[in-house]
């Protein structure tokens, strides 16, 4: 039996929770496909981290829905929202299943790999080093899309995730998830890890 993480309830808008669940499920699918394509365990492990975050959001969503229902009519209206939340969670479960194949060493069939490789953009994961020039700058300031054809789509700081983090300041030890071309991602990873001093 899995250990259940103790969650402290905090009132959060149902709308905000659903938006975050949608963003996370989309990110999980992208990460899972990239993990499967490249046999990348680190990307697969990030999917599993996001799955834990999604489980927390499902709990928070359901708690807020229960507190919002004042009568039978409210309950009936809110049941549709609960269904959307449940189905979004199912998407994240599917992404975790794909990542689980990588973590359990299950080979991806060549036909599936060929389909994945047709995508022009891929994903990469990198931890920011102390001496990277990324540290202390916002994602917007880095302007990576214009510079190298890649962009940071999420930041994990410990167990806290920031999705679409344009205004976020990048800190040492942050884990960046980036999307872009193979060459752009290579430059981004080298710069974030401190291996390169610029994006050239």
Average pLDDT, the chain: 89
Q: Among 2-6, 7-11, 155-159, 160-164, name the one with the lowest average pLDDT.
A: 2-6
Closest CA to 27 of 148, 179, 160, 134: 179
The answer to whether 82 touches 90, Cβ cutoff 8 Å, is no
**By percentage, how much of the chain surpasses pLDDT 90?**
66
Range of the domain at 93: 14-111
Tell me, yes or no, whether 145 and 176 share the same domain: yes
**Chain centroid offset of residue 40 CA:** 15
Model confidence band, residue 77 (pLDDT cutoffs 50, 70, 90) = confident
Q: What is the CATH number of the domain that holds 163?
A: 3.30.70.1450
The helices-and-strands tally (H runs, E runs) of the chain is 7, 4
Model confidence band, residue 108 (pLDDT cutoffs 50, 70, 90) = confident
Distances (CA, A) of 13 to 57, 67, 85, 185: 11, 12, 13, 35
Furthest C-alpha separation in the chain: 62
For residues 111 and 61, the model is more confident at 61
The answer to whether 178 touches 153, Cβ cutoff 8 Å, is yes
- End-to-end alpha carbon distance in the chain: 50
Say if 200 falls within a structural domain: no
Say if 3 falls within a structural domain: no
Tell me, yes or no, whether 104 and 156 share the same domain: no
Using CA of residue 103, residue 104, residue 105, residue 110, what is the dihedral sign? negative
Say if 102 falls within a structural domain: yes
Q: What is the pLDDT of residue 4?
A: 46
Q: What SS3 class is residue 12?
A: coil
Question: Measured between alpha carbons, how far is 151 from 63 in angstroms, rounded to an integer?
Answer: 35
pLDDT tens-digit readout, 158-174: 989 999 999 999 999 99
pLDDT tens-digit readout, 16-57: 999 999 999 999 999 998 898 888 999 999 999 999 999 999
For residues 37 and 129, the model is more confident at 129
Say if 132 falls within a structural domain: yes
Model confidence band, residue 1 (pLDDT cutoffs 50, 70, 90) = very low
Q: What is the pLDDT of residue 131?
A: 94
Last residue of a domain, one of 51, 76, 111: 111
Structure tokens at 133: 């020039």
* pTM of the predicted protein model: 0.81
Using CA of residue 30, residue 32, residue 37, residue 41, what is the dihedral sign? positive
For residues 3 and 191, the model is more confident at 191
Tell me, yes or no, whether 32 and 92 share the same domain: yes
Using CA of residue 200, residue 181, residue 151, residue 134, what is the dihedral sign? negative
What number of CA atoms fall less than 13 Å from residue 47's CA on the CB side? 31
Say if 166 falls within a structural domain: yes
Tell me, yes or no, whether 100 and 148 share the same domain: no
Sheet harboring 175-180: ordered strands across? 122-127, 175-180, 150-157, 160-163
Tell me, yes or no, whether 149 and 177 share the same domain: yes
Say if 2 falls within a structural domain: no
pLDDT tens-digit readout, 86-101: 999 999 999 999 999 9
Model confidence band, residue 116 (pLDDT cutoffs 50, 70, 90) = low
The domain tally of the chain equals 2
Say if 57 falls within a structural domain: yes
């Amino acid at each position: 039996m899995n250990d259940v993480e103790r969650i402290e309830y905090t009132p959060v808008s149902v709308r905000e929770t659903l938006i975050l669940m949608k963003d996370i499920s989309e990110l999980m699918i992208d990460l899972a496909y990239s993990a499967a394509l490249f046999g990348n365990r680190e990307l697969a492990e990030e999917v599993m981290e996001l799955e834990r975050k999604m489980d927390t959001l499902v709990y928070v969503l359901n708690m807020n829905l229960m507190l919002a229902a004042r009568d039978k009519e409210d309950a009936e209206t809110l049941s549709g929202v609960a269904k959307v939340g449940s189905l979004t969670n199912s998407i994240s479960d599917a992404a975790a299943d794909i990542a689980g194949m990588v973590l359990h060493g299950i080979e991806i069939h060549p036909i599936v790999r060929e389909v994945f490789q047709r995508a022009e953009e891929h994903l990469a994961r990198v931890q920011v080093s102390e001496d990277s020039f990324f540290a202390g700058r916002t994602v917007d300031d880095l302007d990576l899309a214009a510079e190298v054809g890649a962009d940071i789509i999420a930041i994990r700081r410990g167990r806290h995730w920031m999705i679409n983090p344009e205004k976020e300041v990048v800190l040492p030890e942050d884990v960046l998830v980036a999307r872009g071309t193979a060459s752009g991602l290579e430059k981004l990873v080298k710069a974030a890890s401190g291996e390169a001093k610029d994006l050239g």
